[in-house]
Amino acid sequence: IRHFVCEILAILKLTCGDISINIISMTASNLIAIVAPLLVISISYICIVVTIIRIPSTEGKRKAFSTCSSHLTVVIIFYGSLFSMYTKPESQNPADADNQDILQAVTALSYGVMTPMLNPLIYSLRNKDVKAAVKNMLGC
């Protein structure tokens, strides 16, 4: 099995039986476990944006958007890689299989390693001292 994460579909493909019911149940559970939280997050961000737009001062809007931007960045990275990993179509061309395996490995790496690794960095960049240190390090 050419995977470095435990993916149930890769294991199910090794069986000799019909896995169509398994795929249907996995799709349904993915909808519940992935799409439902994304809908709740999206609705909450719509409410947040509507509330921020009602703030009269430009400085207040900037601070409010700054507060939400770090969380929104993490959500976009997490769900973007998650959706690209689980909603991609299967390749019909056997010659394309190696490229697709590499792309799937990079996507799984992004989803499983990059997002947790970037979390502290993204949230710490909200600190003024950390921002100043990064600017100083980069020579800005």
Block means of pLDDT (10 residues each) for the chain, 140 residues, are 63 81 86 86 91 90 82 81 68 59 74 78 75 81
Whole-model pTM: value is 0.62
Query: Can you give the pLDDT at residue 54?
Result: 92
Query: Can you give the pLDDT at residue 2?
Result: 59
Q: Dihedral sign, CA of 124, 126, 128, 131?
A: positive
Nearest to 76 by CA among 26, 29, 118, 31: 118
